[in-house]
């Protein structure tokens, strides 16, 4: 069993549940696999086993999280570069410091003037290559420390400069004011929270994200490839790796 664990090598996808960080999810998976062999598994074996994730999902987001196992941990960025698809829900009328529903409301504005037609017209300016300022509450780092960690501690954090990101497609699939549903296909480095925050401003009101699910990342889709984390065993991973070859 130890040999089988250490011979795992490749990429799989899991369906990350909301309410858990990517790092915590990885730790939970490691513990589950180690316990499958023995609770007293030597530290040397635990250290040899490598697993990482490609493309952080917010704690309260869900959906496709691609995991690299063994030597594949070194190829995550290369394999997953670019293509990501999301379903998101936004709420008009208020903005938060985190740009989503987990944060503190920092401003509120009337939204009664916003129609679906207004929203769809505003979406046109967010397609293609655009400049986007990443949210302060993010995994981006300053001097080796996450911006979100610094902000949560009450430290002043200057936002990162705007950077070029790509939106291949962006559509409104439902509008029931104040809520609206979006589907989008974007490149790397894109923040859906920032999109919704900026969209609210462009509509003359405020907005924040209430739900996010990643439906696709690189060649992995939620419906065809994502495994449930609680079902992972060495055998399940071996079978998934064979399917993904």
Total Cβ atoms within 10 A of residue 131: 10
Show the beta-strand stretches assigned E in 97-244: 105-108, 128-132, 141-142, 145-146, 163-176, 179-186, 207-217, 220-221, 226-227
Is residue 13 within 8 Å of residue 220, measured between CB atoms? yes
Considering the candidates 24, 58, 87, 158, report the single residue annotated as catalytic.
Answer: 58
Residue with tokens 């003037």: 113
Annotated catalytic, 87?
no
Is residue 189 within 8 Å of residue 55, measured between CB atoms? no
C-alpha closest to that of 98 among 231, 163, 191, 1: 191
Q: Please give the structure tokens belonging to residue 235.
A: 């055998």
Catalytic residue ranges: 58
């Amino acid at each position: 069993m130890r040999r089988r664990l250490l011979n795992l090598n490749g990429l799989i996808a899991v369906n990350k549940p909301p309410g858990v960080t990517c790092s915590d999810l990885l730790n939970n998976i490691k513990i589950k696999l180690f316990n499958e062999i023995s609770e007293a598994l030597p530290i040397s074996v635990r250290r040899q086993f490598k697993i990482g994730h490609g493309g952080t999902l917010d704690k309260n987001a869900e959906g496709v999280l691609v995991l690299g196992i063994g030597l594949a941990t070194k190829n995550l960025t290369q394999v997953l570069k670019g293509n990501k698809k999301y379903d998101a829900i936004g709420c008009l009328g208020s903005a938060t410091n985190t740009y989503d529903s987990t944060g503190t409301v920092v401003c509120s504005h009337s939204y009664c003037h916003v129609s679906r037609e207004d929203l769809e017209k505003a979406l046109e300016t967010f397609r293609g290559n655009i400049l986007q300022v990443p949210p302060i509450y993010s995994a981006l780092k300053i001097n080796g420390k996450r911006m979100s960690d610094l902000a949560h501690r009450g430290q002043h954090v200057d936002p990162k400069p705007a950077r070029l990101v790509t939106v291949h497609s962006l559509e409104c699939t439902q509008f029931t004011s104040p809520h609206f549903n979006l589907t989008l296909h974007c490149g790397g480095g894109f923040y859906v929270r920032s999109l919704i925050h900026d969209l609210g401003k462009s509509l003359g009101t405020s907005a924040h994200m209430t739900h996010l699910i990643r439906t696709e990342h690189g060649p992995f889709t939620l419906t065809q490839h994502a495994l449930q984390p609680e079902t992972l065993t060495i055998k399940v991973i071996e079978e998934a790796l064979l399917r993904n070859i």
